[in-house]
Chain A
Amino acid sequence: MSDVIVDCIGVNTHFGAHHVLKNINLTVRPGETVGLVGESGSGKTTLGRAILGIGPISSGRIVFEGQDIGGVAPRDRKGRAASIQAVFQDPYTSLNPSMTIEDILIEPIVARGQAAKADAAAQVHKLLDQVALPKDAAQRYPREFSGGQRQRIAIARALALSPHLIVCDEPVSALDLSTQARVLDLFVEIQERTGVAYLFVSHDLSVVRHISHRVAVMRGGEIVEFGECDQVTADPQHDYTKRLLLAAPVADPVRQAERRAALRALSRGA
Chain B
Amino acid sequence: MSAASTTPAPASAPGRESIVRSVLTNPLGLVAALLLLLVIVAAVFAPLIAPFAADDLQIFKINAPPGDGYLLGGDGSGRDIFSRLVYGTQNTLVGALIALSVAAAIGVTAGLFAGYFGGRREVVMSWVADGLMALPALIVLLAFYQSLGSSIHVSMIIFGVMLSPGFYRLTRNLVNGVKHELYVDAARVSGLSDMRIIARHILLVIRAPVIIQVSIVAGISIVIQAGLEFLGLGDPAVPTWGGMLQDAFANMFVVPTAILWPGLAISVTVASFVLLANAIRDRLQQGDRVATAPKIPAPAPHPVGTAPNDAAVLLDVRELVVGYPTKSGWTEVVKGVSLQLRRGEVLGLVGESGSGKTQTAFAILGLLSTGGRILSGSIWFDGRDIANLPESEMQKLRGKRIAYVPQEPMSNLDPAFRIGFQLTEPMVTVLGISKAEAKARALKLLARVGMPDPVRTYNAYPHQISGGMAQRVLIARAISCKPDLLIADEPTTALDVTVQAEVLELMRDLQAEMNMSVVLVTHNFGVVADICHRVSVMRDGRVVETSAVQSLFADPQHDYTKLLLAAVLDDVTPRVYRPVQAKEVSA
Contact = CB atoms under 8 A, between A and B. Distances in A.
Interface in A239-270: 243-244, 246-254, 256, 260, 263-264
Nearest to B187: A107
A13 to B, nearest CB: 17
Contacts of A96: 183, 187, 200-201, 204-205
Given A178-B352, A244-B498, A251 B587 contact: no
Given A178-B563, A205-B497, A213-B577, A107 B526 contact: no
B182 A250 contact: no
B60 to A, nearest CB: 62
A111 B187 CA distance: 9
B550 A52 contact: no
B574 A212 contact: yes
B190 A108 contact: yes
Contacts of A263: 501
B582 A249 contact: no
A177 interface: yes
A251 B16 contact: no
Contact of A249 (B524, B578, B579, B586): B524
Contact of A250 (B352, B529, B566): B529
B496 A249 contact: no
B362 interface: no
**Which of B189, B200, B352, B572: most chain A CB closer than 10 A?**
B189
Interface string B178-210: 000111011111111100100011001100000
A180 interface: yes
Given A31-B578, A180-B567, A210-B569, A74 B191 contact: yes
B529 A253 contact: yes
B526 A250 contact: yes
Interface in B517-576: 523-530, 549-550, 553, 563-570, 572, 574-576
Interface string A171-191: 000001111110010001000
B504 interface: yes
B500 interface: yes
Nearest to A30: B580
B68 interface: no
Nearest to B193: A75
A189 to B, nearest CB: 12
Measured as residues with beta carbon below 8 angstroms from the partner, the interface class of chain A is: 35 or more
A243 B192 contact: no
B572 A209 contact: yes
Contact of B497 (A203, A212, A251, A252): A203
Contacts of B192: 75, 107, 111
B353 interface: yes
A164 interface: yes
Interface in A204-221: 204-207, 209-214
B186 A154 contact: yes
B13 interface: yes
Given A30-B582, A88-B182, A96-B201, A206 B501 contact: no
Contacts of B550: 253-254
A111 B353 CA distance: 36
B440 interface: no
B585 interface: yes
A55 to B, nearest CB: 10
B570 A111 contact: no
Contacts of A181: 566-567, 569
Contacts of A206: 568-570, 572
Interface string B440-474: 00000000000000000000000000000000000
Interface stretch (A16-24, A56-64, A79-87): A79-87
B17 interface: no
Contact of A178 (B496, B499, B504, B564): B564
A44 interface: no
B393 interface: no
Nearest to A205: B497
Contacts of A201: none
B513 interface: no
B16 A98 contact: yes
B190 A229 contact: no
A159 B587 contact: yes
A125 interface: no
B310 interface: no
A46 interface: no
Interface in A95-139: 95-99, 107-108, 111-112
B191 A111 contact: yes
Interface in A41-92: 52-54, 73-75, 77, 82, 84-86, 88-90
Contacts of B529: 249-253, 256
Contacts of B564: 177-178
Given A31-B580, A32-B577, A98-B16, A248 B497 contact: yes
Ranked nearest first, the 8 interchain pairs of A and B with the lowest CB-CB distance are A249-B526, A31-B580, A251-B525, A94-B182, A39-B496, A108-B190, A247-B501, A213-B577
14 contacts: A74-B190, A90-B182, A94-B182, A95-B186, A108-B191, A111-B196, A162-B586, A178-B563, A181-B566, A193-B587, A209-B574, A212-B574, A243-B498, A250-B526
